[in-house]
Structure 1
Amino acid sequence: MTFLVFFCGHAGTGKTTVAKKLIGPLMKASGTPFCLLDKDTLFGGYSAAAMAMLSGDPNDRDSPLFLQHLRDPEYRGLLDTARENLELGVSALVVAPLSREVRERRLFDRAWLGVGADVTLRVVWVHTSDEVARQRIVARANPNDAYKLAHWDEYRQRRFVPSGETCDDLLMFDNTAPTPSDDEALLARIVGEPQPASTMVPPLPV
């Protein structure tokens, strides 16, 4: 059995931190090898070169130009890479915002993903408050975040918060100040049966 696990959420929520923290325990608990596929690692250099040529700003990841022309190809390449690993018997942790795909329930659509019923599919939504996320973005001082910070009010309006039916089978994880028991609970939910949405912790209000 292989696993396809998505760690989704907005900038500053700590998606990559959570994924890196859990990949070792996941391999041990599931008995299967995992690869970590982070969108920024896989496509950051390419997108920087492309945006430098198109707009003169290699750090642009939020303008309409980027969102209209590079976002979807990045995500498709990310999913294609995950699928190739799954076909080789290697489970995948995929780290990317993927907010549109969560909102539209595409990450639960096996036909859209191109994976069969033999793959255990989990989608984790990592979240925290806008204030905490902004503090983390400022602290990490990544040039790719410059557009977000310069257009924060506009950007925060795009910060989709899952609710209602969107939360069905979605594993919500509050990463504001997680404890070891919180990490263990998330691990158990990934390797075990997903809990009904009614038992999940709701996201913090915007």
Structure 2
Amino acid sequence: MPRLIFFCGHAGTGKSTLAHRLIGPLMQATGEPFCLLDKDTLYGRYSAAAMAAITGDPNDRDSPAYLENLRDPEYQGLLDTARENLALGISVLVIGPLSREIKAHQLHDPAWLNIPVETAVRIVWVHLPEDEAHARIIRRGNPNDAYKLAHWDAYRTRRFMPDPAEYPELIYFNNLTPGQAETEALLRALSA
């Protein structure tokens, strides 16, 4: 039974770092191969070229021009690549904010995902307080964050924390200072 595991959350929460840390232990715990699909790795260079052509700024990953022209095709391609691996029986870790899809409960909808029926889906919502996420974004110094940082007040209006009562399909992971017990509990939840 292939697994589709999403690591979602806002910028700076540590989605990629957490997924990279868990993929080896997850393969060991399940005995299954996994493919790791990070939206930024898959589409970063393409987006840079496209945004340079559209806005003149190759590092723009959050302006209205990016959101209107590239955001949805990137996510569609990410999910198409996940589906292709799942159809081959390969489990997949997908890394990306996917906040619109979370809000619409789409990542828990097998019909919307169009994935093999036997696929086990898990969705991890990686979160941090806003001030810590903001500080981490500044510390990492990624040029792709420049637009977001320059327009933080506008960006922060899109940040939200899903209510567990309204989003029971999510596995919540507070990435502020997780200990070994929290990380092991997450690994158990993902490998069950």
- TM-score bin (small chain): over 0.9
What letter is aligned with 1:9?
Answer: G
| C-alpha distance in 2 between matches for 1:117 and 1:22 | 25
What letter is aligned with 1:184?
Answer: E
- In the alignment, which residue of structure 2 is the partner of 1:141? 141
Task: Give the unaligned 5+ runs of structure 2.
Answer: none
- In the alignment, which residue of structure 2 is the partner of 1:87? 87
- In the alignment, which residue of structure 2 is the partner of 1:104? 104
Q: What secondary structure is seen at the aligned counterpart in 1 of 2:162?
A: coil
Find out whether 1:184 has 2:191 as its counterpart: no
Displacement of 1:157 in angstroms is: 1.1
| C-alpha distance in 1 between matches for 2:117 and 2:88 | 16
CA contact (8 A) 2:82 2:94 kept: yes
Q: What secondary structure is seen at the aligned counterpart in 2 of 1:57?
A: coil
CA contact (8 A) 1:9 1:125 kept: yes
CA contact (8 A) 1:12 1:134 kept: yes
| C-alpha distance in 2 between matches for 1:110 and 1:163 | 22
| C-alpha distance in 2 between matches for 1:126 and 1:49 | 29
Partner deviation per Cα, 1:78-122 (whole Å, 9 max, x = no partner): 000011111111100000000110010000111111113311100
Alignment of 1:108-187 (within 5 A): 108-187=108-187
Partner deviation per Cα, 1:11-37 (whole Å, 9 max, x = no partner): 000000110010011111111100110
Q: Which runs of 4+ in 1 moved over 4 A?
A: none
Q: What secondary structure is seen at the aligned counterpart in 1 of 2:166?
A: helix
Displacement of 1:166 in angstroms is: 3.4
**Quick check: 156-165 or 91-100, which moved more?**
156-165
| Count of residue correspondences | 192
- In the alignment, which residue of structure 2 is the partner of 1:67? 67
Task: Give the unaligned 5+ runs of structure 1.
Answer: 193-206
Partner deviation per Cα, 1:46-99 (whole Å, 9 max, x = no partner): 010000001100111111111011100000000000111111111000000001
The structure with higher relative contact order (CA 8 Å, sep 6+) is: 2
TM-score, normalised by the number of residues in structure 1: 0.91
What letter is aligned with 2:155?
Answer: Y
Give me the identity figure in percent.
Answer: 60
| C-alpha distance in 1 between matches for 2:17 and 2:166 | 24
What letter is aligned with 1:47?
Answer: S
Instruction: Note the aligned Cα RMSD (angstroms).
Output: 0.9
